[in-house]
Amino acid sequence: MERKDVLNLGAGPSALPEHVLQEAARGLLNYNGTGMGITEISHRSKEFQQLTNDLSATLRSLLNVPQTHEILFAQGGASLVFSSIVLNLLSRFKLLHPEIPASETYIDYVVTGTWSKKASEEGKRLAGSVGVNVNIAADSRAYSKDGKSFECVPPLDAYKWSPPAQTAFVYYCENETVNGVQFASSQAVSTAFPLNQFQDNIDPPIIADFSSSFLSRPIPNISSYGMIYGGAQKNVGPAGLTILIVRKDLLVDVDAAHKLGAPVVPLTLSYKTLADNGSLYNTPPMFSMYVSLLVAKDIAAKGGLVPLEERNYQKQETIYGALEKLQEKGLIRINVLPGSRSWMNVTFVFLQPDKEKAFLEATEAKGLRGVKGHRSVGGFRISLYNAITQENADTVATVLTNFLNSS
Ligand code: PLP
């Protein structure tokens, strides 16, 4: 099978633009005329320092990141952030409020799908072990028809926040890759995350997992966040790199906090350690950073995130539009309600299981790959990351329409 015969609609790691991969392959052999490949040079060389600076500057410009926030490059994937966020932010809270005991301290999670649920469970393990309370401020399953599926983001009046002065952070996942639930990006829409429910937007810091929507559209109100982060392996580059956009007051001395009773934090997980060392405390995921820089530059060369947002909007319109027709015919159910539907991960199930097999065969025959839903939810998932073009989306829509006509 050739690359050209396949359309990779997988949820991640996922397709990257082919011309970027070709350039990356050249750099793998000979980076910038050094005669050595990017994975073979020192991470302390001037060439790699330059790459790190370029990646940081390109992301800052694409996302309009204010000077109040640092851009850090970490290893360990988004899952490690589930842990590091708890450790760093409990440290910060202890430094700010040594007088508040753990039993009166809270961390708040909004659960809208598999990944925020997982993050909250790690919060319970780590914060719970030192007596800090975990509050599920809202769980969108309560608003689904069967009471156990993730079909939407919570309604605006659902959130039950802990007392702000006693809350170390508030956490949510902007795009739930497995379930296909996404918050709207504009605060004017009722399905946006309600940033305006927090008075000064400083405390408690708002932490958001943007792993599967990072660089797919602009992030408005970025200065209102304590931290935005994402693993690279969807829109940005190969797995291995996690990008953290952290407000500077979240970079705290974890050892000083430990002396006051906060948990001990491995130095490699301390955001301040990363920042103090320009993200080069230890060897970073160099190849992933290199490809991410090529991807970010490519987006910038094509006009940045605003035109990309328009392209991604059109793609999901095409797919949901085709799916609505199958839904009207009673063939499928789109898992997520309008307003909360992900632009990146479109999920649906067939109402009769035998159709599922036939549809999978139809997609396979057309070279579509990675369309099976996550094992925990079943059905289908079509991921529309940046490397998927409108032409690709049209191909998928045609497969859907042909299936409808032949059913
Ligand atoms: N958060 C989201 C939204 C994800 O989609 C994923 C992985 O797909 C993760 C977190 C976990 O990422 P990792 O496997 O890099 O730890």
Host H or E run for residue 168: strand 167-173
Which pLDDT belongs to residue 407?
84
Would the CA dihedral through 179, 185, 188, 192 be positive or negative?
positive
Of ligand 1's listed atoms, the one at least distance from the Cα of 173 is 3
Residue whose tokens read 């396979």 = 364
Q: Do domains 46-299 and 304-406 have the same CATH topology?
A: no
pLDDT of 114 reads: 98
Edge-to-edge strand list for the sheet holding 167-173: 69-74, 242-247, 227-231, 206-209, 167-173, 106-111, 133-139
CA of 127 to the centre of ligand 1 (A): 21
Tally of CA atoms within 13 A in the half-sphere of 64 that contains its CB:
11
Give SS3 for 78.
helix
Measured in angstroms, how far is the CA atom of residue 355 from the centroid of ligand 1?
30
Return d(Cα 360, Cα 328) in angstroms, integer. 20
Residue with CA at minimum distance from ligand 1 atom 2:
211
Mutate to test the pocket of ligand 1, among 207, 211, 236 (most ligand atoms within 8 A of CB): 211
What is residue 353's predicted lDDT score, i.e. its pLDDT?
85
Q: Which residues of 247-282 are buried (b: 16+ CB within 10 A; e: fewer)?
A: beebbbebeebeeeebbebeeebbbbbbbeeebeee
Residues 67-102 have pLDDT tens digits of 999 999 999 999 999 999 999 999 999 999 999 999
Assess contact for 397 and 322: CB atoms under 8 A: yes
ipTM surpassing 0.85: yes
Q: Quick one: tokens of 290?
A: 């290199």
For residue 49, how far is its CA from the centre of ligand 1 (angstroms)? Answer: 27
Instruction: Select from 14, 75, 79, 234 the residue to mutate for testing ligand 1; criterion: most ligand atoms less than 8 Å from CB.
Output: 79
Q: How far is the CA of 231 from the centre of ligand 1 (A)?
A: 6
| Alpha carbons 223 and 213: distance in angstroms, whole number | 18
Positions in the chain short of pLDDT 70: none
Distance 151 CA to ligand 1 centre (A): 19
User: How many whole angstroms separate alpha carbon 378 and alpha carbon 373?
Assistant: 5
Q: Kind and range of the H or E element at 221?
A: none
User: Which of these CATH numbers, 3.40.50.620, 3.40.50.300, 3.90.1150.10, 3.40.640.10, describes 304-406?
Assistant: 3.90.1150.10
Distance 45 CA to ligand 1 centre (A): 31
Q: What CA–CA distance (Å, rounded) separates 254 from 86?
A: 12
Q: For ligand 1, what atom is nearest to the CA of residue 177? A: 5
For the chain, state the CA radius of gyration: 22
- Which residues are catalytically annotated? 115, 209, 234
**Nearest residue CA, atom 12 of ligand 1?**
78
Domain boundaries defined on the chain: 46-299, 304-406
Instruction: Report the pLDDT value the prediction gives residue 243, as an integer from 0 to 100.
Output: 98
Ligand 1 center–CA 271 separation, angstroms: 19
In whole angstroms, what is the distance from residue 190 CA to residue 405 CA?
36
CB of residue 77 inside a 6 A radius of ligand 1: yes
> To test ligand 1's pocket by mutation, which of 212, 269, 344, 345 has the most ligand atoms within 8 angstroms of CB?
212
Rounded Cα–Cα distance for residues 67 and 75 (Å): 23
C-beta separation of 169 from 205 below 8 A: yes
46-299: what fold? Answer: Aspartate Aminotransferase; domain 2 (3.40.640)
For atom 9 of ligand 1, the residue with the nearest CA is 78
> Which letter does DSSP use for residue 158 in this model?
G
CA distance 335 to 151: 6
Which class for 337: exposed (0-12), middle (13-18), buried (19 or more C-beta within 10 A)? middle
78 CB near ligand 1 (under 6 Å): yes
The answer to whether the CB of 210 is under 6 A from ligand 1 is: no
Q: Is 38 helix (H, G, I), strand (E, B) or coil?
A: coil
Could you count the other beta carbons within 10 Å of the beta carbon of residue 23?
16
Q: Is the CB–ligand 1 distance for residue 238 below 6 Å?
A: no
| Whether the CB of 211 sits within 6 Å of ligand 1 | yes
**Residue 218: its pLDDT value, please?**
98
Query: For residue 120, what are the CA distances in angstroms to 104, 230, 287, 319, 331?
Result: 18, 17, 31, 32, 35
Closest atom, ligand 1, to C-alpha of 178: 5
